[in-house]
Copies of this chain bind each other. A is one copy, B any other.
Amino acid sequence: MPSVSSTSPIETDALIIGAGPVGLFQVFELGLLGIRAHVLDVLPHAGGQCAALYGDKPIYDIPGIPRCTGHELTQRLLQQAAPFAPTFHFQQLVSQLDRMEDGRWQVHTQHGLHFLARTVFIAAGVGAFLPKAPKIEGSESLSHAQWHYQLGSAADYAGHHVLVWGDTDAALEAALALSPSGSHAARSVTLLHRRDVFQALPETVARFRHAVAAGSVQLCIGQPLRVQTDGSRITALDIATPEGTTVLQPCDTVLVLQGLSPKLGPVADWGLAMERKTLSVDTESFATSERGIFAVGDINTYPGKKKLILCGFHEATLAAFAAAHYLHPEQKTPLQYTTSSTLLQQRLDVL
C-alpha cells in the first residue's frame, strides 16, 4: 500500500528533479511535445551546478554560443522554456519515491511537497547541492535554532550574538544582513574565517570591509576548534588563531556558510540500476531500469557517456520522445521541426 499523505498531492504528467541546464531543457522538449512539467530543485534558484559553481565563469562549448557564463546560460534556457510555463518548486529535496499501484510515481520532498507523477526525469547532475556541513567538537548535539546552514528568517537572529563562519559571497552578505542596519539585524555579528582573504566578489568584499571599519561587523581570523555551552545553549567557540594560540569567541548562534557540495542523496536509495554512483540508462530512450523514470545529464551513464551539458540536451530530447510514447502509446509522436511546424509554433506561442 502506498503511504497516505495528509496534503493533497500535485498530479502531473511529468516531474523533473533538478533545475540545472539539462532539467530546464527537459521542460522545453517536453513542452514541444505538449507535456507540461513541474520542476524541483534543492537550490533556491534555477541553474544547478552551472549557477552554483560557475555562475560568473565562462563556458565555451555550448554549441552555437561561443562564450557564456553559467548565469547567462541559465537565463537563456529559462527564456526558451518560458512558453511552456513550468511550475518550479525550489529548496525542495526529494526524500522518497515510490511506485503506486496505478503505475504512477509518488514523490515526497523533505519540506512536505507531495506529487503523483506519471513520468519522472532525474536531472540531478552530480547530486543535490547541499550546504557543506563541517562538524566541530560539540556541534553535533546543537539544535537547528543555534546552528544554521542558511540565513533563513530575521526572527531567528533578533537579540542574538551571531557568528557567521565562511568567506563566500553568501557569508559576507549574511554578515552584512545581520549588522545593525541590515535586514536581519542581530545584537552583534562576527564573521569567522581562517585567513583575512575572501573568495567573494571584490564589490562584496569592499562593502564588508567598510562595515568592519565602521564597527558594525566584527572580524575574527582563525579556525573553530570546539563549541562551549552552558549545558544546552552555545556560549562561545574556541578558535585557533594563525599565531597558534586559542581564543574564546562569545556567541549564542552560529551560521555556517561554507559553500555548497553535491550529494547524491536519496537517489541512491530508490532501487534504480546504478553503476559507479550514476544511473544506468539505454541510449534509445534514456530510461532507467524503472518504467516511467528517465535519467538525463551528469547523473546517468551509458557506453561513451561524457558529462557535458550539450550531451544532456540530446538525452533530454530523446527522453521526451520516449516519455510521450509512454504517456500516449496509442498516439504517434512524429518528429516535427520548429522552423516549419505550425503545431510547434503554436505551442511556442510565436505564431
Contact = CB atoms under 8 A, between A and B. Distances in A.
A306 B283 contact: no
Contact of A80 (B66, B304, B322): B66
A6 interface: no
Nearest to A53: B339
Interface string A271-282: 000000000000
Contacts of A29: 61
A54 B313 CA distance: 23
Interface in A10-62: 21, 25, 28-29, 32, 54, 57-62
9 pairs of A and B residues whose beta carbons are closest in the complex: A314-B314, A284-B304, A60-B338, A284-B303, A63-B313, A283-B283, A64-B76, A66-B80, A61-B338
A317 interface: yes
8 contacts: A29-B61, A60-B344, A63-B80, A283-B283, A284-B304, A304-B318, A307-B335, A314-B315
A317 B306 CA distance: 9
B63 A348 contact: no
A65 interface: yes
Contact of A57 (B57, B339, B348): B339
Given A21-B63, A67-B350, A311-B318, 4 more contacts: A25-B63, A54-B340, A64-B68, A283-B304
Contact of A58 (B284, B310, B339): B339
A136 B32 CA distance: 44
How many copies of the polypeptide does the oligomer hold? Answer: 2
Interface of A: 21, 25, 28-29, 32, 54, 57-68, 70, 73, 76-77, 79-80, 283-285, 302-304, 306-308, 310-311, 313-315, 317-318, 321-322, 335, 338-340, 344-345, 348, 350
Given A66-B79, A310-B313, A339-B59, A303 B321 contact: no
A314 B305 CA distance: 10
A318 B312 CA distance: 12
A310 B314 contact: yes
Contacts of A65: 64-65, 76, 80
A77 B65 CA distance: 8
Contact of A311 (B25, B62, B68, B314): B314
Contacts of A310: 63, 310, 313-314, 317
Given A65-B64, A79-B66, A321-B306, A59 B338 contact: yes
Contacts of A340: 54, 57
Contacts of A303: 283-284
A293 to B, nearest CB: 17
Nearest to A316: B63
A40 B335 CA distance: 28
A58 B317 contact: no
Nearest to A54: B339
Nearest to A66: B80
A39 to B, nearest CB: 16
A210 to B, nearest CB: 31
Nearest to A322: B304
A215 to B, nearest CB: 39
